[in-house]
Chains A and B, each alone.
Chain A
Amino acid sequence: MKRVTLAAAAASLLSGAAYAETEITLWHAMGGALGDTVNAIAEDFNASQDAYTITPVFKGTYEETLTAGIAAFRAGEQPNILQVFDAGAATVIGAKGATVPVQDLLSDNGAGFDIEDYISGVRYFYADTEGKMIGMPFNSSSPVMYYNVDALEAAGVTPPKTWEEFQSVTAPALKEAGYVGLSQSHLPWIFTENFMSRHNLPFATNDNGYAGVEGTKILVNNNAIKAHWTAVTEWQDQGYFEWFGTGWGDNQTPFEEGKVAIWLGSSGSFGGLSKKDLPFEFSATYLPYWEAVTKEPKQTFIGGASLFAMAGKSAEENKATAAFFEFLTKPETQFFWHKETGYVPITEAAYELAKKEGHYEAMPAAEIGIKQLSLPAGENTKGYRMGFYVQIRDVMNREYGRILTGETDVETAFANIEKEANGLLERFAKTQK
């Protein structure tokens, strides 16, 4: 390993001397196998041309990566590209002058940009008020429903389409068959944000926060979601649902162990699950919805993260960044990323390529994420833009944890979330002056 790095370093030194390549850096939060895939893409890019070299650097969790990027920016040492996750979007997009909008970057460097090339679910999540794309969607995912095929067969049920079906048919049968019906891995993301999107409910005033920070209020304290949460606590009492803590893995493990039959996770979990050699067959389908709330369920939000070109770099380096983005959106690169990780391909062309290559014939579940993101859109499905959203999520996690441990009730919890979130939004608006 060490020798390889040394050799690579020597090679890059030599080639640097020969061609004077422009070097750019990418700070990302992709650990483990995902990080290996990022490195593979970077190596492919470096090998594909002689003018630029990109160096990916793993900076820890999403939160740590964003904080590192901000600290570096303030010190004038920012990387060329910073990966920022969904909850950090308002922070990075709000700071005009911190980034070069990807749309401008690509057009200015002759790479061409057409927002219609991107699949509908990813177009506007990282866009500004006017719909200009600021961040390049990179690892885009959506919450989907994974299920243990063997368990559902043993219980004699099919994957539930609606929550009504889950609570009256699926969960009781699974319990009979000796399974806990359901677990999920991210309460704010799956049981809040995407609950709003799936049911086309407004999540915040000011056009879900896109129209500006001034006066934006969260609309989380509504009857539809409170009814959902009341149902969740009932499922918990009946043994249909179990919560294993705020950590992602704590809730995924019982599914992998075969204790829980249905798990709500990320479409990006697909790659990891299929490499794990689980003792049962698993598949995936759309996130259920409440028929009582809507008869026409909509697409979900993209989660994951996107890549931002940081401002304050030379034209030469920005050109290299544009070239990397162009490489990244190539159908072949997107298909490779999609196949390896389970994250959705972000362009129509890449999706077509995956279909043509027969990727979904072997694994239909791999297509669920992108199909869900391509479901009909509604006025509230393009995304949400709220500042200090990382803390708002922390507040949600705290209150939801208290609901699920019986420390508080649904009504009080949502009143608290609304109050504290609005306080944070008001504070954030003051930071933007």
Chain B
Amino acid sequence: MKRAGFATRWLPILLLLPQLIIIAVFFYWPAAHAVQSSFYLQDPFGFGSSFVGFDNYTDLLDNSEYRRIAWFTVVFTVLVTFFSLALALLLAVKADKVIRGAKTYRTLLMWVYAVAPPVAGFIGLIMFNQSWGPLTRLFEQVGHDFTLGVNYNDTAFAMVLVSVWKQVPVNFIFFLSGLQSIPKSVREAALIDNRSASGRFWDVTFPLLAPTGFFLLIINITYALFETFGVIDTLVKGEPGNNPMTLVYKVYVDGFRGNDLGGSSAQSVILMILVLALTVFQFRMVERRIHYT
């Protein structure tokens, strides 16, 4: 078999160049800059600076508050990812069965996707308003005095709820199209083999959905880590106080609110390493078990 290839060496490089430049300008250059700043403590206006070695890193790791935020980030990411995926899968499986009015039904499930994170956060603020929020009232009915922005756990709950609500539609779209791409013949064969609907789901449908699920897992972890920023910022009204926050929000609080460039660069580098490790782990450990058809 003849291998297709380029005649000259320079053409492929030339074709790759635009993409490489974009990556260099928007990723490698800022990343290198962040690594460099993380070894300095510098005046925000850029007048003075001292080289401090790994001090910015050791200060962070010694700080119990930073560890607490890191732990919250883990819990938050697991909860948001799990519930966004599980709810979306449930809805997709149910929507897949609907025949009459399917389009309307699906559109209704999807349209939250169009809501921007800060708007979602703002809706959360309204729902959980301390004096008249409908969800606050609901919690009152079951005897819990829900205080957004005052109680740590209540605020964490609201953050998870709003973030999940915002993410379910995206997952729903992918799961639904994943379900619809499962060949009818496979389903019919399964129907003969197994009468239990849940048994068929776990033995046949779920493994066939795995590529979609794996892709969504990565997307959702990234979402929970990074893109929930707008939700968090809105829910704490820009004043973190005693509220929970994620590592990304902490980078913003220290860097953009507090103008501590060294400390916040060190945090970015730590995040970068974490995400890199996570991605390698996912591709090594999880993807091996997935069969693409």
Q: How large is the interface on A (under 10, 10 to 19, 20 to 34, 35 or more residues)?
A: 35 or more
Q: Which residues of A contact B63 (CB under 8 A)?
A: 420
The reply to whether B43 and A94 form a contact with Cβ atoms under 8 Å apart is yes
Instruction: Name B169-197 residues within 8 Å CB distance of A.
Output: none
* Nearest CB of chain B from residue A386's CB, rounded to whole Å: 12
Q: Is B168 an interface residue (CB 8 A)?
A: no
Give Cα A214–Cα B238 distance, bound, in whole angstroms. Answer: 31
Instruction: Name A77-107 residues within 8 Å CB distance of B.
Output: 91-92, 94-98
Q: Is A405 an interface residue (CB 8 A)?
A: yes
* Option from A74, A244, A404, A427 in Cβ contact (under 8 Å) with B59: A427
Q: Is B49 an interface residue (CB 8 A)?
A: yes
* Nearest CB of chain A from residue B253's CB, rounded to whole Å: 7
Q: Which residues of B contact A388 (CB under 8 A)?
A: 258-260
Q: Is B279 an interface residue (CB 8 A)?
A: no
Instruction: Name A260-317 residues within 8 Å CB distance of B.
Output: none
The reply to whether B254 and A401 form a contact with Cβ atoms under 8 Å apart is no
The reply to whether A257 and B131 form a contact with Cβ atoms under 8 Å apart is yes
The reply to whether A246 and B239 form a contact with Cβ atoms under 8 Å apart is yes
Give Cα A399–Cα B43 distance, bound, in whole angstroms. Answer: 27
* Nearest CB of chain A from residue B121's CB, rounded to whole Å: 13
Q: Which residues of A contact B124 (CB under 8 A)?
A: none
Q: Is A162 an interface residue (CB 8 A)?
A: no
A397 and B52 in contact, given A95-B45, A97-B47, A257-B131 (Cβ under 8 angstroms): no
The reply to whether B149 and A430 form a contact with Cβ atoms under 8 Å apart is no
The reply to whether A407 and B242 form a contact with Cβ atoms under 8 Å apart is yes
* Option from A250, A394, A427, A432 in Cβ contact (under 8 Å) with B240: A394
Instruction: Name B32-60 residues within 8 Å CB distance of A.
Output: 41-50, 52, 59
Give Cα A223–Cα B46 distance, bound, in whole angstroms. Answer: 39
The reply to whether B48 and A394 form a contact with Cβ atoms under 8 Å apart is no
Q: Is A390 an interface residue (CB 8 A)?
A: yes
Give Cα A420–Cα B50 distance, bound, in whole angstroms. Answer: 20
The reply to whether B50 and A247 form a contact with Cβ atoms under 8 Å apart is no
**Residue from A64, A91, A400, A431 having most chain B Cβ neighbours under 10 A:** A431
Q: How large is the interface on B (under 10, 10 to 19, 20 to 34, 35 or more residues)?
A: 35 or more
* Option from A97, A243, A253 in Cβ contact (under 8 Å) with B150: A243
The reply to whether A390 and B259 form a contact with Cβ atoms under 8 Å apart is yes
Give the interface SS of chain A, mostly helix, strand, loop or mixed. helix
* Option from A96, A97, A391, A400 in Cβ contact (under 8 Å) with B254: A391
Q: Which residues of B contact A66 (CB under 8 A)?
A: 259
Residue interface mask A221-258, B partner, CB < 8 A = 1: 00000000000000000000001111100100110010
Q: Is B151 an interface residue (CB 8 A)?
A: yes
* Nearest CB of chain A from residue B259's CB, rounded to whole Å: 6
The reply to whether B150 and A401 form a contact with Cβ atoms under 8 Å apart is yes
* Option from A70, A424, A430 in Cβ contact (under 8 Å) with B44: A70
Give Cα A433–Cα B152 distance, bound, in whole angstroms. Answer: 39
* Option from A61, A250, A402 in Cβ contact (under 8 Å) with B149: A250
* Option from A73, A253, A424, A433 in Cβ contact (under 8 Å) with B45: A73
Q: Which residues of A contact B236 (CB under 8 A)?
A: 246
Residue interface mask B129-167, A partner, CB < 8 A = 1: 011000000000000000111111000000000000000
* Nearest CB of chain A from residue B198's CB, rounded to whole Å: 43
Give Cα A172–Cα B49 distance, bound, in whole angstroms. Answer: 54
Give Cα A398–Cα B238 distance, bound, in whole angstroms. Answer: 13
* Option from B41, B45, B243, B263 in Cβ contact (under 8 Å) with A98: B45
Residue interface mask B230-245, A partner, CB < 8 A = 1: 0000001111111100
Q: Which residues of B contact A390 (CB under 8 A)?
A: 257-259
The reply to whether B242 and A91 form a contact with Cβ atoms under 8 Å apart is no
Q: Is A423 an interface residue (CB 8 A)?
A: yes
* Option from B41, B151, B239, B259 in Cβ contact (under 8 Å) with A430: B41
Q: Is A67 an interface residue (CB 8 A)?
A: yes
The reply to whether A245 and B258 form a contact with Cβ atoms under 8 Å apart is no
The reply to whether B260 and A427 form a contact with Cβ atoms under 8 Å apart is yes
A247 and B59 in contact, given A91-B259, A431-B49 (Cβ under 8 angstroms): no
The reply to whether B263 and A427 form a contact with Cβ atoms under 8 Å apart is yes
Q: Is B256 an interface residue (CB 8 A)?
A: yes
Q: Which residues of B contact A207 (CB under 8 A)?
A: none
Q: Which residues of B contact A424 (CB under 8 A)?
A: 260
Q: Which residues of A contact B44 (CB under 8 A)?
A: 70, 91, 95, 431
* Nearest CB of chain B from residue A320's CB, rounded to whole Å: 23
Give Cα A67–Cα B262 distance, bound, in whole angstroms. Answer: 15
Give Cα A91–Cα B256 distance, bound, in whole angstroms. Answer: 13
Closest A residue to B255 by beta carbon equals A67
Give Cα A388–Cα B253 distance, bound, in whole angstroms. Answer: 12
Give Cα A394–Cα B264 distance, bound, in whole angstroms. Answer: 15
The reply to whether A61 and B41 form a contact with Cβ atoms under 8 Å apart is no
Q: Is A128 an interface residue (CB 8 A)?
A: no
The reply to whether A405 and B263 form a contact with Cβ atoms under 8 Å apart is no
Give Cα A191–Cα B29 distance, bound, in whole angstroms. Answer: 44
The reply to whether B259 and A67 form a contact with Cβ atoms under 8 Å apart is yes
The reply to whether A430 and B240 form a contact with Cβ atoms under 8 Å apart is no
Given A95-B44, A431-B44; 7 other pairs, CB 8 A cutoff: A67-B259, A70-B259, A95-B45, A244-B149, A246-B241, A253-B131, A388-B260
25 contacts between A and B (CB under 8 A): A61-B238, A64-B256, A66-B259, A70-B44, A70-B45, A73-B45, A74-B46, A92-B45, A94-B43, A244-B149, A246-B240, A246-B242, A250-B149, A250-B237, A257-B131, A388-B258, A390-B259, A391-B257, A391-B258, A394-B241, A398-B65, A401-B241, A430-B50, A431-B49, A431-B262
